[in-house]
Homo-oligomer: A and B are copies of this chain.
Amino acid sequence: MNLTKAWGILKENGFKETTKRNQILEIFEGDERYLTARDILDVMQKDYPSMSYDTVYRNLATFVSLDILEATELSGEKHFRMHCESDHHHHHFICMDCGKIKEIPLCPMDLLGAALPAYEIDNHKFEIYGKCPDCK
């Protein structure tokens, strides 16, 4: 997702255009890896030494709720990255060295079909972890 589209979504939902908010989005636009709240704060504090954790966490939560960012839990910490452009549902290979991802077009839920008829399925998680060709 790019900045323009992200701001379209934010404006539609009544969020104000602030410089901090914009700069956080710029970081994600320029980095395809999964980043933590601390990663964001570290970069932001170069320009805004007084930047607060609260601002980072609040904005990350906003972005995730609007599907601008996607989140996942890696070794006990929440990680975030720009939501994929792809309009079809997919999953990710995640490189545990460099953090870069590769889209996996397959979704195991397609194959489960009616295997769980009596169950209410709300969500699912499928991720592959390892090393990408560059880090291998």
Residues of A in contact with B (beta carbons under 8 Å apart): 73, 76, 78, 93, 96, 102, 104, 106, 108-109, 111-112, 115-116, 118-133, 136
Contacts and interface: CB of A to CB of B under 8 A. Distances in A.
Given A126-B124, A131-B122, A112 B104 contact: yes
A134 to B, nearest CB: 9
Interface of A is mostly: strand
A58 B35 CA distance: 29
21 contacts: A73-B76, A93-B121, A104-B112, A104-B115, A106-B108, A108-B111, A109-B128, A118-B136, A119-B130, A119-B136, A120-B131, A121-B128, A121-B129, A122-B129, A122-B130, A122-B131, A123-B128, A123-B129, A124-B127, A124-B128, A125-B127
Contacts of A106: 108, 111-112, 115
Given A124-B129, A126-B124, A129-B124, A119 B102 contact: yes
Contacts of A136: 118-120
Given A96-B122, A106-B115, 11 more contacts: A73-B73, A76-B78, A102-B116, A106-B111, A119-B133, A120-B136, A123-B128, A123-B129, A123-B130, A124-B129, A125-B127
